[in-house]
Structure 1
Amino acid sequence: MRIGIISDTHRLWGRIEEALRTMGKVDMILHLGDNVSDAEDIRNILRDIPVVAVKGNCDSTDNLPEERTLLLEGRKIFMTHGHRYNVKYDFSDIYKRAKEVEADIALFGHSHLPIILRKSDIIFINPGSTSMPKHGSSPSCAILTIEDNRIDARLLTVSKSIAMAE
């Protein structure tokens, strides 16, 4: 299963489209919040591909949870935006929560900084921000592939040729 991961899209549709092109063919999209209305727009365009989202600190909807746990290809995936777990400062709070839910993989956004790291037996992925990267990072997204009980996670740079004011 090939899963596209996107976060902190902030309604900059040109960058979102470029991120979707950069991801290529995926079986599912996971949106980690901050403008989850973009997740609905992605769902309307990709129609045959499931889009699952959690709300972030910039989302006012009550229709989505702040975190979810999914079981995909025998792996437990914990999704959150990250603002409730202080991910801009360290990963101890999100690590504790991921352990509590017995996650194999923890996905978060919020900091706008892309990272993949392993702590103990958990893989943590922040795809960064497609639209508003911070601290010198590039616009980015991620791909998570789960196949034959193997996990492969990759960060992808989204083209900078798309104008920010769209």
Structure 2
Amino acid sequence: MEGIAWRGIMGKFATGVTVITTLDEAGRPIGMTANAFTSLSLEPPLLLICLDKGSSTLVSLLAARKFAVNFLADTQEEVSRRFARKSETDKFDEVDYREGELGLPVLGSCLASVECSLADTLDGGDHLILVGQGEFLYEPETQSSPLLFYQGKYRALQALEI
């Protein structure tokens, strides 16, 4: 099966958009956009993310053994595009973030964020599956709608009239 065909079919499944953040070996914030994310377990609180094995963020995340998942709001398309760049240079410039309880960069204006400790890893072809144990939750007082990704484009959630 060709990768292009696989990607096209997988693109028919709408996903939310996250930015995964951690610290590099020098303690600098780094991050990347990811939509391969899901909740895994309530007890204990586990989630999973899947990152390309060639990702520089992955290398740092494995060394740090902790990461944050930031759920992007529909007003944060530019943040998603910024963190989707391959280069780590200047990703955090002009981006609202603060230090979380685990010392990780937690982005502002998100729907929610979760700081995790790395609980396990599994091989997933050209990706590594990372299981995170939720340690700290962040949710703003004001709610907005999620940023979505569908068929290679950003989308916004729209309620159906029933």
* TM-score for the superposition, normalised by structure 2: 0.26
More helix by share: 1
Greater Cα radius of gyration, structure 1 or 2: 2
Greater percentage in strand: 2
